[in-house]
């Protein structure tokens, strides 16, 4: 037989001669053989390691015939790991005991002294069963993620402008590699759409795409969400849970808004990316992961590195290739295409017939500044379609945009002194956001640290 056809084996028996004999026989077939004569160490071993098969003696020194101890420890193992594959061993073959063992979760039952060939055959069969459990578990988790992804709206990237053609060219070049990609751009520019396009054109296209909004994950849930946890690791951990890294194994992991991570969380993320393995909360077992990493942020991460609010080594790890998505105001040629697309989508959704846009409406759409980018355009057209009274959208259907700044109606500053202009803009942003520094910084495209320095500079 081939070497290492088995995985990791744990044998628990108080007979040291039997333990060493079993280990000597199995070590040439198994990846790892662990032996233990004290059953009281079972909780520690099972909590901190993952075994493909556990061989458990039914009778220890306190009780050599009833099998009571074996059933007790079988129950303990199953409580810690419900999917554990356990083979019970005993010198007292008893049909009723065997049936009871199987009903209580044992995979098989073997008598000692055993024949080595019989032992190996039983372990091989049990190991294959464990593999099938793991595969089903992984498939179930991926299926749930895929079901969630299918509910998300997805359409092809729309654009014929020079900037978008350049982005398409970059996607074609980078998609076929496993290079880490960092996508930069304002909110609403379609960063996740670009990430999915890279995945769909990659060698991992038949595997799963897992997206994570890093801005919505609290510090306390970060490790649980990304790395997973063991049942009982904390108060609400009622079941074993795979983290997003495990679920994305062999596929693509998209970390959106990565610039929002605190420095301690950046450090934890960097460690995982360097080692290519995760450890669930509540265990010491490292789980290898093979992912294609794509990150995105609307923040100025290079400036954040200079301000010591984003780790330089993490930036080097995630930005092998950078893609900058221009805001919609710099893609005016694409607005008619995008507008027509959303018109068709929402006309169908609300069962309305539309011939298109009047020239006044399209002129307004192309002149408007679109601070919310494509997402704002999408919502504007949906709202217009709901409220429209004719079969052709005109500028009056977008009345809610008229009070907002447009490209050709930008207020002329009282002074062109750059410091004065910046001071006035900062003051307006703070006033608009009711003194909320975080919101003002986000609207200005600055980090909190950058904004605080400017406030001090201008005495605001």
Q: Please report, for the chain, the start and end positions of each structural domain, with discontinuous segments joined by +.
A: 6-132, 162-324, 328-402, 418-458
| pLDDT greater than 60 at residue 44 | yes
What fold characterizes domain 328-402? Helicase, Ruva Protein; domain 3 (1.10.8)
As beta bridge partners, residue 10 has 34, 54
**176, two tokens:** 């076929």
CATH number of this structure's domain 418-458, picked from the four choices 1.10.357, 3.40.50, 1.10.10, 1.10.3470: 1.10.10
Over residues 203-214, mean pLDDT:
92
List Cβ neighbours of 445 (8 Å cut-off, separation of 6 or more): 186, 298, 299, 300
* Percent of the chain residues past pLDDT 70, beyond the cut: 87
pLDDT of amino acid 154: 35
What per-residue confidence (pLDDT) applies to 148? Answer: 57
Task: Examine domains 328-402 and 418-458 and report if their fold is the same.
Answer: no
| Res. 418: pLDDT tops 90 | no
More confident residue, 207 or 101: 207
Question: What's the whole-number mean pLDDT along residues 213-241?
Answer: 86
C-alpha torsion sign, points 314, 318, 320, 325: negative
Spatial separation of the C-alpha atoms in residues 220 and 222, rounded to whole Å: 6
Token representation of residue 293: 């990493």
- pLDDT greater than 70 at residue 319: yes
The yes or no reply on domain 6-132 and CATH 1.10.10.10 is no
The radius of gyration of the chain from alpha carbons, rounded to an integer in Å, stands at 30
Instruction: Say whether pLDDT at 152 is over 50.
Output: no
- Residue-level pLDDT at 287: 92
Q: What mean pLDDT do residues 262-279 have?
A: 94
Closest CA to 18 of 70, 81, 77, 60: 60
pLDDT band for position 1 (cuts 50, 70, 90): very low
Query: Quick count: other Cβ atoms within 10 Å of Cβ 109?
Result: 20
Q: 434: which residues sit within 8 A by CB, 6+ positions away?
A: none
User: Is the domain 162-324 a CATH 3.40.50.300 member?
Assistant: yes
Residue 409 has pLDDT above 50, yes or no: no
Report the pLDDT value the prediction gives residue 2, as an integer from 0 to 100. Answer: 47
d(CA 226, CA 234): 16
Quick one: what percent of the chain has pLDDT higher than 90?
43
**Poorest-pLDDT segment among 86-90, 170-174, 208-212:** 86-90
Report whether pLDDT(433) > 80. Answer: no
Average pLDDT, the chain: 84
Q: What is the pLDDT of residue 313?
A: 95
pLDDT confidence band for 29 (50 / 70 / 90): confident
């Amino acid at each position: 037989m081939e070497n290492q056809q088995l995985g990791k084996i744990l044998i628990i028996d108080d007979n040291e001669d039997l333990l060493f004999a079993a280990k000597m026989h199995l070590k040439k077939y198994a990846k790892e053989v662990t032996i233990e004569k004290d059953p009281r160490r079972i909780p520690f071993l099972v909590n901190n390691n993952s075994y493909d098969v556990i061989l458990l003696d039914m009778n220890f020194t306190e009780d050599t015939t009833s099998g009571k101890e074996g059933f007790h420890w079988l129950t303990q193992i199953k409580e810690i790991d419900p999917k554990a594959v356990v083979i019970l061993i005993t010198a007292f073959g008893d049909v009723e005991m065997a049936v009871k063992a199987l009903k209580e979760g044992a995979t098989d039952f073997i008598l000692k002294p055993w024949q080595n060939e019989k032992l190996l055959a039983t372990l091989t069969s049990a190991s294959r069963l464990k593999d099938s459990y793991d595969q089903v578990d992984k498939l179930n988790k991926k299926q749930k993620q895929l079901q969630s992804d299918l509910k998300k709206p997805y359409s092809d990237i729309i654009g014929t402008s020079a900037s978008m053609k350049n982005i398409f060219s970059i996607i074609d070049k980078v998609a076929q590699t496993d290079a880490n990609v960092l996508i930069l751009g304002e909110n609403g520019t379609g960063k996740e759409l670009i990430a999915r396009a890279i995945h769909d054109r990659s060698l991992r296209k038949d595997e799963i795409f897992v997206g994570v909004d890093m801005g919505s994950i609290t510090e306390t849930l970060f490790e649980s969400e990304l790395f997973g946890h063991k049942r009982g690791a904390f108060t609400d951990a009622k079941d074993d849970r795979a983290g997003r890294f495990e679920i994305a194994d062999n596929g693509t992991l998209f970390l959106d808004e990565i610039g929002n991570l605190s420095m301690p969380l950046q450090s934890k993320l960097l460690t995982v990316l360097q080692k290519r393995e995760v450890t669930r909360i509540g265990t010491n077992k490292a789980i290898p992961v093979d992912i294609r990493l794509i990150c995105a942020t609307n923040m100025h991460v290079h400036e954040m590195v200079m301000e010591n609010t984003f780790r330089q080594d993490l930036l080097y790890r995630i930005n092998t290739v950078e893609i900058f998505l221009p805001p919609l105001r710099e893609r005016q040629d694409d607005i008619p295409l995008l507008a027509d697309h959303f018109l068709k989508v929402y006309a169908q959704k609300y069962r309305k017939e539309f011939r298109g846009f009047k020239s006044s409406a399209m002129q307004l759409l192309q002149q408007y500044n679109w601070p919310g980018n494509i997402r704002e355009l999408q919502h504007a057209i949906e709202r217009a379609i709901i409220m429209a009274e004719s079969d052709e959208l005109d500028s009056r259907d977008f009345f809610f945009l008229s009070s907002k700044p447009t490209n050709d109606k930008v207020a002329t500053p009282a002074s062109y002194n750059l410091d004065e202009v910046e001071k006035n803009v900062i003051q307006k942003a703070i006033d608009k956001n009711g003194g909320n520094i975080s919101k003002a910084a986000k609207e200005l495209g600055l980090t909190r640290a950058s904004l605080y320095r400017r406030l001090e500079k201008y005495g605001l």
